[in-house]
Amino acid sequence: MIDQDAVQAAVTRLAEAQATRVPCPPVRDLIGTDDLPAAYAVQQGLVRARLVGDVTVVGRKIGATSEAVQRQLGVDQPDFGYLLSDMDVSAGADGGGPVSMRTLVQPRVEGEVAFVLAHDLDPADEADLTLDAVRGAVEVALPALEIVDSRIADWDIGFTDTVADNASSGLFVVGRDGRTLDELEPRDVTMSLTINGEERSSGTGAACLGDPLEALRWLAVQARRFGDPLRAGHLILSGALGPFVPFAPGDRVEATISGFAPLRVTFEE
């Protein structure tokens, strides 16, 4: 049974850290180190609190899909979080103006492949969520930059900490020109991420659970099990193709993912 008082205490701690931009202690002292239902309950509480005004859920993100990021975070399995409309700063890409860091606490950036879904992934039988089924659900693939963030001081996180903190979400940027899966094979892409012209991260599609589409299949299964399946129109960030790296105000970040035009963004405080 989930301890609702502990869940609410964790929600309050993380929400205050987000509001003040002052990192907080880990929440594993409240919800434990292996209670995933409690961790996702905290995540749900944080997400619900942010759905005010015109803020909506626009998709999901998959975290810790590459071995490099798992090593960085000290975890051994993927997780997922929610993408909200106010996290989308794609308008700042490719000369659209600098992206503000005013909501961020301890940001890092990583390059990914994103997918837009053409139809729901909610079959009557979970066994029908095959790789072919999720491939058939993808409308287009897009290049993406995810700005991951942690409200927890010094990124001192265990698995339940990052799950609770909406999978360490911050902001995201997606490119404008998509590719169908007839035009691009996600597992075969290569990625180079530069900051101010210097390569800081690199990787391949195969680094993302062997195939970004396999990451999408994993997410579809988990989302259905949690009672909130993936829907048509959702944007899915499938996970990092290489290590995430820190950046600072004034930095110019560029991700070059084969098959797509480069994706560029500049940040400001």
pLDDT in tens, 31-81: 999 999 999 999 999 999 999 999 999 999 998 776 776 777 676 778 999
C-alpha distance from residue 54 to each of 46, 58, 84 (Å): 16, 12, 10
**pLDDT band (50, 70, 90) for residue 255:** very high
Per residue in 180-234, pLDDT tens? 999 999 999 999 999 999 999 999 999 999 999 999 999 999 999 999 999 999 9
Per residue in 109-156, pLDDT tens? 999 999 999 999 999 999 999 999 999 999 999 999 999 999 999 999
pLDDT for residue 268 is more than 90:
yes
What's the confidence (pLDDT) of residue 1? 83
Percent of the chain's residues with pLDDT above 70: 98
pLDDT for residue 171 is more than 80:
yes
For the chain, which domains are there? 55-268 (3.90.850.10)
What is the DSSP-derived secondary structure letter of residue 102? Answer: T
- Note whether 63 and 80 are within 8 A (CB): yes
**pLDDT band (50, 70, 90) for residue 95:** confident
What's the confidence (pLDDT) of residue 67? 76
Q: Which of 265, 21, 27 has the alpha carbon at shortest distance from 162?
A: 27
The pTM (predicted TM-score) of the whole model is 0.94
pLDDT for residue 169 is more than 90:
yes
Tell me the C-alpha distance between 260 and 191, whole Å: 10
By the 10 Å C-beta count (0-12 exposed, 13-18 middle, 19+ buried), 109 is classed as buried
